[in-house]
Amino acid sequence: NSSSVKEFILLGLSENQGVQKIYFVVFLLFYTLTVAGNLLIVLTVTSSRHLNSPMYFFLGHLSFVDVCYSSVTAPQMISGFLVENNTISFAGCIGQLFGLHFFGCTEIFILTAMAYDRYMAICRPLHYRALMSRRLCGRVVGGSWAGGFLHSTLQTLPTALLPFCGPNKVAHYFCDVHPLLHLACANTRAAGLAAVANSGVISLSCFLILVASYVVILLSLRGQKSAGWHKALSTCGSHITVVILFFGPRTFVYIRPSSDLSKDRSVAVFYTLIPPMLNPLIYTLRNGEVKGAMRKLCRR
């Protein structure tokens, strides 16, 4: 490693001490709710015999990924609100960058798989069981993890190999590609374009696939009675909400070359912390089966 920088200082969301204490309480609550809510869903899906359809199989994996995804950034950020200088080692910083993209990309692929599952359930109900077999679902989830790993490796390696000779202040509350490229003592234009191509293209193309799948679902319901519409919208509504929350801010950060890092910082909260916290609420409040299974689990 050619870099002389051994650690980075994460600047966090605010320099103001009073505001930092408020943030500490708020984000600690967010993170606690995220972990508790998502682990409850994982437990519910794995322990319930009734929640055995592909939709819940994917939901269980989504919740597990959410716990990992928020755990990459939240603990470091929350502890940072209490100290003068929130430092992270060079290896820790690269590890955080890897984890962020690994779990984030895996989540994108799982959300896309869930949209395909909804499309199959609504547009091809008679063939649904045969087409969405356990084996296929297992392969899709395995492929999602493998895709996330590949994406993250391609994103992390070029950044890790750059020379960092100081300054070492990262204008963000976690280590991400754009803030680190700003600190490298080399021409990072190629690395920056590669990062935008890699993350931006994945986010945008999956988002377009998701939108297309919903357009097809809605078109297929044109001749149906209102009950069919209601059922489709209730199953898809929660998924659409999650997708917009997760993809909107993410695509904004990664699809454009980075210039204004302070904007990126505030937008990042909306895809690293808010969706993982809201996912359990969105999926359980709109789903009677999950609520029923949770009640049974709590009674036990």
Quickly state the pLDDT bin for 147 (edges 50, 70, 90): very high
The larger pLDDT score, comparing residue 197 to residue 154, is at: 154
What is the count of structural domains for the chain?
Answer: 1
Asked, for residue 184, whether it belongs to a domain, the answer is: yes
C-alpha to C-alpha distance for 261 and 271, rounded to whole angstroms:
15
Query: Domain for residue 284, yes or no?
Result: yes
Is the residue at 89 inside a domain? yes
Residue-wise DSSP of the chain:
------EEEE--S-S-HHHHHHHHHHHHHHHHHHHHHHHHHHHHHHH-SS--SHHHHHHHHHHHHHHHHHHHHHHHHHHHTTSSSEEEEHHHHHHHHHHHHHHHHHHHHHHHHHHHHHHHHHH-TTTHHHHS-HHHHHHHHHHHHHHHHHHHHHHHHHHHTS---S--EESSSS--HHHHHTT-SS--HHHHHHHIIIIIHHHHHHHHHHHHHHHHHHHHTTTS-HHHHHHHHHHHHHHHHHHHHHHHHHHHHHSS----HHHHHHHHHHHHTHHHHHHHHHHHHT-HHHHHHHHHHHH-
Partners of 86 in beta bridges: 10
Radius of gyration of the chain (CA): 20
Q: What is the pLDDT of residues 5-34, one digit of tens each?
A: 888 988 877 778 788 889 899 999 999 999
- Which residues make Cβ contacts (< 8 Å) with residue 154, sequence separation at least 6? 194, 198
**Which pLDDT tens digit goes with each residue over 182-241?**
888 888 888 888 888 888 788 888 888 888 888 888 888 777 777 767 767 776 777 787
- CA distances 80 to 70, 91, 177, 180, 264, Å, are 15, 18, 20, 18, 18
Do the beta carbons of residue 124 and residue 158 sit within 8 Å? no
pLDDT tens by residue, 97-131: 999 999 999 999 998 998 888 888 888 888 888 88
Domain residue limits at 139? 7-299
For position 15, what pLDDT does the model report? Answer: 77
What's residue 97's pLDDT?
94
Percent of the chain with pLDDT strictly greater than 70 = 94
Residue 1 pLDDT level (bands cut at 50, 70, 90): very low
Partnered with residue 245 across adjacent β-strands are none
Strands 7-10 and 169-170: parallel
pLDDT at position 281 is 82
By C-alpha distance, which of 269, 263, 270, 265 is closest to 246? 270
At residue 248, the pLDDT reads 78
Is 266 domain-assigned?
yes
Contact 8, 86 (CB under 8 A): no
Supply the CATH number for residue 241's domain: 1.20.1070.10
The verdict on residue 1 lying in a domain is: no
Q: How far is CA 132 from CA 58, 112, 121, 146, in A?
A: 12, 14, 9, 20
**From the CB of residue 181, how many other CB atoms can be counted at a distance below 10 Å?**
19
Asked if residue 2 is part of any domain, the answer here is no
Residue 60 lies in a domain: yes
Residue at 190 is within a domain:
yes
87 phi and psi angles, rounded to 5 deg: -95, 155
Residues linked to residue 170 through DSSP beta bridges, in sequence order: 10
